[in-house]
Copies of this chain bind each other. A is one copy, B any other.
Amino acid sequence: MGAQAQRTEEWADVTPDAARRLLTAAVEAFAERGYHATTTRDIAGRAGMSPAALYIHYRTKEELLYRISGVGHRLALGILRQARDGAGTPAERLADAVRRFVRWHAEHHTTARVVQYELGALGEEHYAEIVALRRDTDGAVRDIIEDGVAAGDFDVPDVRGTTLAVLSLCIDVARWFNADGKRTPGEVGELYASLVLRMVGCAEDS
C-alpha cells in the first residue's frame, strides 16, 4: 500500500475533499519542517490552493495541528485498547500491542511525528485535551503489564517506570524510522515486541 492510499484511508472521514487535502498537506509539512517552521502558504501550496482557502475550512493554523493530533491520538489509543481487551495471555496481548503500535508509528511516521513531537505547539485548552488522551494511552499499557504481573507471567519491579519505558521506546520509532531504510514496519514491530517481552522478564519468548 502506497503512502497516498494510506493517507486517504487515515483521513477518510474528513470532508469536504478540499479540507482533507489541506489536512494531509499540513501533516506532510509539519512532519518535514515542524509546526513553527511551516507556513500557511506552504500548506495551501501543497494542497494546490491559495493561502486564503485554508481559512475557509479551518479557523487557524493551530486548529490544523489540533485536528491532526486528535485523530492520531485516538487512533493510537484505539490500537492499544484493542490489544489490551483482546484474547490471549498477558504476554501475547503485550506483544500484540507493541507490534501494532510500533507498526503504526513506522508506517504512518509522518503523522506520528506530528502527533508525538509537536504537541507543545498546541494552545492551552487543546493541549490539556490531548494530554488526557495520552494518560489513557499510558493506562492501557499499564493494564496489560499489571495483568502479567498478577498472573505471575512477568517479573517487573517498577510497573510505572517500565510502562513509561515501553511507551517511550515505541513512540521514538516515529523519530528515527525512515521509509527508505532497510527495515519494514512489520520487521521493526516484531523486533520491538520481542525486546519488550524481555524487558518485562517474560519467561518464554514468542
Report the bound CA distance from A183 to B162 in whole Å. 13
Residue interface bits A163-185, CB-to-B below 8 A is 1, else 0: 01100110111011000000100
Docked CA distance A33–B121 (Å): 8
Instruction: Verify if A59 is at the interface (C-beta below 8 Å from B).
Output: no
Q: Once the chains are docked, how many angstroms separate the CA of A195 from the CA of B161?
A: 10
Interface of A is mostly: helix
Mask, A105-145, CB within 8 Å of B = 1, is 00000000000010011000000000000000000000000
Does B161 contact A191, Cβ atoms closer than 8 Å? yes
Residue from the list B33, B169, B192, B195 in contact with A172, Cβ < 8 A: B169
In-complex Cβ contact of A176 among B34, B168, B176 (8 A): B168
Q: State whether the Cβ of A198 lies closer than 8 Å to any Cβ in chain B.
A: yes
B37 touching A121, Cβ below 8 Å = yes
A201 at interface by CB-CB < 8 Å: yes
Interface size class of A (residues with CB under 8 A): 20 to 34
Q: Please, which residue of chain B has its CB at the minimum distance from the CB of A168?
A: B172
How far apart are the CA atoms of A82 and B173 in the complex, in Å?
27
List residues of chain A with CB under 8 Å of any chain B CB.
Answer: 33-34, 36-37, 117, 120-121, 158, 161-162, 164-165, 168-169, 171-173, 175-176, 183, 188, 191-192, 195, 198-199, 201
Provide 28 A-B residue pairs closer than 8 Å at the C-beta atoms, listed in order of the A residue. A34-B34, A34-B36, A34-B121, A36-B36, A36-B37, A37-B121, A117-B117, A158-B191, A161-B183, A161-B188, A161-B191, A162-B191, A164-B176, A165-B169, A165-B191, A165-B192, A165-B195, A168-B172, A168-B173, A169-B169, A169-B172, A171-B172, A172-B172, A195-B199, A198-B198, A198-B199, A198-B201, A199-B199
